[in-house]
Chain A
Amino acid sequence: MTVLAIYPADPAPELAQLLDLSGFVWKGVAQPSDVDLFEPDEGWGGAIVQLGENSDLGWGMLRALRRRDVPVAPLLLMVRGNELNELDLRDDLFDDFCLDPFHPRELEARVRHMLASSGGDLSGERIEYGPLILDLETYEASVNNRPLDLTFMEYELLRFLAATPGRVFTREVLLSRVWGYEYYGGARTVDVHVRRLRAKLGEEYAALIQTVRSVGYRLGESRRR
């Protein structure tokens, strides 16, 4: 289950209603210390921060969400038109933004899109990338119509990478998002599982998962060409 952190803790009624109607589970966070205090066992699945009247408090919340051992991602920022200049040099603090006041359909679409592309909420869908197909309902994975027999963690890693082909993930991000840090191996676990996934993909398709030197891994080709 994906639980979103919402700031301010009592969001505008339209936002709360929209989240509830769209089936999102959320908890309000009033101050930076709440991020740790109210974190669900499985970690935050993402966050929506409304910058609001006093934008310094909003930015403080974003920093609290982002600059921690397990950074919360994805982060959607709601920003007023006259605050857009504050976004400069703060790209690292959010993944997407939406103008406030918001259009309900736009916000819902953005939240869904953002969660989907980070692998957070994808039930009942299929991921295809070249010869690779993942059926998220049945956990079926295949490459060039050959079924892949993966362990649970291998499957989860592949699903996460395949949700955003071309995007590079660091080992730390993969570890926190796929494993949730309670695993023995630390960040090296990621290397080990990537190697195992490649072994199962077979020589011909091993290169689907690319190592980006001193950064991490991505599935498929870079999006920046």
Chain B
Amino acid sequence: MERPQDYVQRRVEERGVRLVRLWFTDVQGQLKSFAISPAELETAFESGMVFDGSSIDGFSRVREEDMVARPDPATFELMRWGGNDENAARMFCDIERADGSAFPGDSRQVLRRSMERALAQGFTFFTAPELEYFLFEADRNGDPVPLDNGSYFDLTTADVASNIRRQTLTTLEAMGIPVEYSFHEDAPSQHEIDLRYTDALTMADNVMTFRLIVREIALEHGVHATFMPKPLTGVQGSGMHTHLSLFRDGVNAFHDPESPDGLSDVARGFIAGLLHHAREITAITNQLVNSYKRLVTGYEAPVNVSWARANRAALIRVPTSREGGVDDTTRIEYRAPDPACNPYLAFAVMLAAGMKGIEQGYELPLEAPPSMTGFTEHGGLIDQAQLPQSLDEALDEMEKSDLVADTLGDHLFSWFLRNKRREWNDYKAQVTPFELDRYYSSL
């Protein structure tokens, strides 16, 4: 047995692990899991664990198909939360077909493939997402009720929300997911936790773990945590602003000490690529009907396809970085994604769009002006392009995109479009409270 696998076996024995959960992700980014006993570990490593994939979103094909989950020993972690699961551990899996070929519906391998393409040109891709979410107390009607009315950077030491957040942070760190910052956001009961950068594959795994931890710890306190992009009308929604960087030979490829603004040509190409393909990838980074309720003017969410250093409403922000050498932190922040996305697919399309810009030498458009006011009317660059206004429009854009088709592969690309069209059609047929309020009594 290879050393990493041997390591996992030993840890299971030493720590009295009774249950090993095998984790993978469906196309919509939902965490899927089944458990095996320690006795099955060796088989799992040698030949993978067979399961019926027909019930998993995006896995089902015309005929039923047995799938094989192959655990990645490098991702073995004890699950450090929850009263009844203390002797459980988890590993992420790659999904294969029964014949051993990679299963094209496995989004983890979509990201791996994208990263390998970039690696062929010497680039490694790092991401650092800022995850926002709300904590609600469900009232009798099941409507979301905020836990508190604190606002940005409020010190609410006594309240339950900050206890939950502290416990969440400790658990994340214990699971090997380092946190950069955490704070109370603008909206009532909204929280933000910023993860420290790592390679995009590990980070996508981390986002999956993160969402589970946040929800389960909230549940332990009788509270509901939601990553729904826009749960409340009239206050800002939850985003997943993602900081992106490329490294080559251990050096930040976005940084050029010679250039007046510190940005390298690689960075310029990457930003240009993201801007150029932004409309096409929005269905992936913002995959719900509800996602588009967040992408509206007035709530610090991006609307225009633009980039800027000092304008926080731009789609791409280039944060000011510290000067110099090995420690430079030059990166860009892509502000469209929301935390309900499938992180594997979202990172994969962001990387593909940026890489395209580098390869094709796209020209970087002018930077948006720094003033927040008036910007949305006048500052929109690239022919005043806006992000798609609805899931419907985003799907139209995606359907036309060779870039997205190429990145996701045919199986996943067509499944995603089919599934999301259905979601849009279901939504379109709904009579909403808005309509009843506005029309019912007066017409």
* Chain A interface residues toward B at CB < 8 A: 138-140, 147, 149-155, 171-172, 184-189, 192, 195-196, 198-200, 214
A–B complex contacts, Cβ < 8 Å, 5 sampled: A184-B201, A187-B247, A188-B124, A192-B199, A200-B174
**Interchain nearest-CB distance for B200 vs A (Å):** 8
**A171–B15 CB distance below 8 A:** no
Query: How many A-B residue pairs lie within 8 Å, measured between CB atoms?
Result: 78
Q: Considering the complex, which residues of chain B in the window 165-219 have a beta carbon less than 8 Å from any beta carbon of chain A?
A: 173-174, 176-178, 196-199, 201-202
A184 in contact with B124 given A138-B14, A139-B7 (CB within 8 Å): yes
Query: What residue of chain B has the Cβ atom nearest to residue A140's Cβ?
Result: B14
**Which residues of the other chain, B, contact A138 by a CB distance below 8 angstroms?**
10, 14
Q: Does B381 contact A (CB under 8 A)?
A: no
Stretch at the interface among B19-27, B70-78, B254-262: B70-78
Taken together as a complex, chains A and B put the C-alpha atoms of A198 and B115 apart, in Å, by: 27
**A152–B174 CB distance below 8 A:** no
20 new A-B contacts, CB < 8 A, other than A149-B11, A153-B74, A188-B247, are A151-B74, A151-B77, A151-B176, A152-B3, A152-B8, A152-B74, A184-B119, A184-B199, A185-B124, A185-B198, A185-B199, A188-B199, A192-B196, A192-B199, A195-B196, A196-B177, A198-B178, A199-B177, A200-B173, A200-B174
Q: Which 4 A-B pairs have the closest CB atoms?
A: A187-B250, A199-B173, A185-B199, A152-B4
**Interchain nearest-CB distance for B308 vs A (Å):** 27
**Which residues of the other chain, A, contact B199 by a CB distance below 8 angstroms?**
184-185, 188-189, 192
**Interchain nearest-CB distance for A152 vs B (Å):** 4
**Which residues of the other chain, B, contact A150 by a CB distance below 8 angstroms?**
176
Taken together as a complex, chains A and B put the C-alpha atoms of A173 and B15 apart, in Å, by: 32
Instruction: Give the one of A138, A139, A153, A214 with max B CB within 10 A.
Output: A139
**Interchain nearest-CB distance for A121 vs B (Å):** 14
Chain B's interface: helix, strand, loop or mixed, by majority?
mixed
Instruction: Give the one of B10, B74, B198 with max A CB within 10 A.
Output: B198
Query: What residue of chain A has the Cβ atom nearest to residue B324's Cβ?
Result: A214
Q: Does B437 contact A (CB under 8 A)?
A: no
Scan B245-269; emit 1 where CB is below 8 A from any A CB, else 0.
Answer: 0011110000000000000000000
Taken together as a complex, chains A and B put the C-alpha atoms of A131 and B248 apart, in Å, by: 37
Q: Does B80 contact A (CB under 8 A)?
A: yes
**B250–A139 CB distance below 8 A:** no
**Interchain nearest-CB distance for A113 vs B (Å):** 23
Taken together as a complex, chains A and B put the C-alpha atoms of A152 and B80 apart, in Å, by: 17
Query: What residue of chain A has the Cβ atom nearest to residue B3's Cβ?
Result: A152
Cross-chain contact of B198 among A192, A200, A214 (Cβ < 8 A): A192
**Which residues of the other chain, B, contact A199 by a CB distance below 8 angstroms?**
173-174, 176-178
Scan B210-254; emit 1 where CB is below 8 A from any A CB, else 0.
Answer: 000000000000000000000000000000000000011110000
**Which residues of the other chain, B, contact A188 by a CB distance below 8 angstroms?**
124, 126, 199, 247, 250
Query: What residue of chain A has the Cβ atom nearest to residue B122's Cβ?
Result: A186
**Which residues of the other chain, B, contact A186 by a CB distance below 8 angstroms?**
124, 247-250
**Which residues of the other chain, A, contact B82 by a CB distance below 8 angstroms?**
none
**Which residues of the other chain, A, contact B174 by a CB distance below 8 angstroms?**
149, 199-200
**Which residues of the other chain, A, contact B76 by a CB distance below 8 angstroms?**
151-152
**Which residues of the other chain, A, contact B201 by a CB distance below 8 angstroms?**
184
